[in-house]
Amino acid sequence: MSPVAVESKKIENKRSWLRLSWRSLWRTYLRNWKLLYLLFFLMIEIDRKHSRHKLLFLTIWIACCLILVLYAFTLQLARDAVIRRALEGKYEASLQLNKRMLRFPSFGGSVEGWVLLEAGRYNEAEAATKPLAFDQHDNPRLMSWQLYYYAMALSHQGKGEEAYYLLGYTLQLKPRIGRFHLGLADCLLEHNRDPENARFMLDRILANWQEPSRPFRKRARQALHRARYAWALARCSRRDEAVSQLLQASSGSPEFIGRDQAWLRYYAGETWRALGDSGKAQVAFEEARALHPYGQVQRRTQKELSKLGVCRE
């Protein structure tokens, strides 16, 4: 394991994953508003008919509210655990926990498609997300996460035209800056087509979009967007700007989890290769593989190393 990977593991082991934010907890709580309203209505009715037991009813009401808060808190912890395990490369454990938690009301949508993408199991991700990405009339569910996962599964399997059509069609009808711009830019870069359009979309993302994420991962996601931007700039033969964006993206990266550091090094490898520096590209790809030798990162870095004539160790 390279010194970069060793240092990353030391930092990652010290990091706490259970950094719940009040905003994310509040979103989970809001998903239960119907239950809260029902409890409130029942308490009013009971209080109206049995006014002699107000203290008892007030106690029950407070207990119900506390139970609801605890339930929302538990669901948030469970969802974080699903995501955490996938980010650590424990894909089967993540999928099993996601399946169990879907039985509970208000857990939120399934992240099976995302986990399968993280695992590099693209054909399974396509099969899992297709029924959820389209309605009963085979019309795409515009702006849905499942449609996004489905399109990216297609792109990573070499079905660039299909992915490009779905992502582009969605953006024509729903042009709001967001993940579909990011997905289309990734698709264009991955299949080596229209780098100017990819650069334009990533430029807009950096300027106008704050991706919803937990506070401790927000900086990492912004850095990954900037690293993609460097790749697009390199494809457009804008060397100085590409190198500058890479430096900005890597600033503070030792604080990121190993998976995010690995993606930063992967995009650095793509950038250096686009700039014609195969030596630096190879080093970056090998560091990416050492930092996170799992799933999609491992699969894509190995693919790029093979193109450079490097066999797996």
* Residue 20: predicted pLDDT: 47
pTM of the model: 0.81
For residues 7 and 90, membership in a common domain is answered with no
Residue 69 counted as domain residue? yes
Domain boundary among 49, 74, 109: 109
Same-domain check for residues 217 and 288: yes
Domain boundary among 133, 157, 191: 191
Q: Give, for 39, the enclosing helix (H) or strand (E).
A: helix 33-49
The span from the CA of 229 to the CA of 189, in Å, is 10
pLDDT in tens, 279-292: 999 999 999 999 99
pLDDT of residue 39: 63
Among 173, 222, 175, 174, residue whose Cα is nearest residue 201: 175
Block mean pLDDT (10 aa), the chain, length 313: 49 45 54 60 63 64 76 84 94 95 81 96 96 92 92 95 94 90 95 95 90 74 95 96 95 89 97 96 96 96 90 53
What is the reported pLDDT for 17? 42
User: DSSP of 97-112, one letter per residue?
Assistant: HHHHHTTSTT--S--H
Parent domain of 101: 31-109
Structurally, how many domains does the chain consist of?
3
Same domain, residue pair 240 and 161: no
Q: Is residue 232 part of a domain?
A: yes
Whole-number pLDDT of residue 14: 43
Shared domain check, 252 and 312: yes
